[in-house]
């Protein structure tokens, strides 16, 4: 019984830390090309546009590793994400974002807030 109690306690601590580390993407930066995304801040989402066509959403990984995550917004390519920008500039990306290399973060970005999966 002690073993399972330690496992449950450890899991509750991990959940608590993940919930307390919930970055918020508060600002949108519009750029004309991916090369314009070099100095992206931790709370920014860069939207790459070509005229009126949105092509990419780029953000720093919320885990703190600072790697850039590129979400393709072009429906003609697979995979692609849907972008929603609310009145207060909060960004939602659907479906979830999952890094399959490096830190392996998996999260949902809804209303500018990160929800860990």
What pLDDT shows up at residue 22? 66
What pLDDT shows up at residue 14? 63
- pTM (global) more than 0.85: no
> Can you say whether the dihedral through the CA atoms of 109, 57, 75, 85 is positive or negative?
positive
> Across all residues in the chain, what is the average pLDDT?
87
The Cα-based distances of 29 to 37, 52, 59, 81, 107 in angstroms read: 9, 15, 10, 18, 21
Question: Of all helices (H) and strands (E), which one includes residue 29?
Answer: strand 27-31
| Residue ranges for the chain with pLDDT beneath 50 | none
Give the count of beta carbons closer than 10 Å to the beta carbon of residue 19.
10
The residue ranges of every structural domain in the chain are: 2-116
What pLDDT shows up at residue 69? 96
What pLDDT shows up at residue 95? 97
């Amino acid at each position: 019984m002690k073993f399972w109690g330690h496992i449950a306690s450890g899991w509750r601590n991990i959940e608590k830390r993940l919930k307390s580390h919930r970055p918020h993407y508060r600002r949108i930066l519009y750029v004309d090309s991916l090369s314009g995304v070099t100095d992206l801040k931790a709370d920014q989402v860069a939207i790459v546009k070509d005229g009126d066509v949105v092509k990419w959403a780029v953000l720093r990984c919320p885990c703190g590793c600072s790697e850039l995550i590129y979400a393709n917004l072009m429906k003609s390519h697979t995979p692609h994400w849907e972008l929603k920008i609310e009145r207060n500039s909060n960004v939602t990306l659907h479906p979830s974002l999952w890094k399959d290399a490096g830190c392996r973060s998996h999260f949902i970005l809804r209303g500018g807030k990160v929800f860990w999966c």
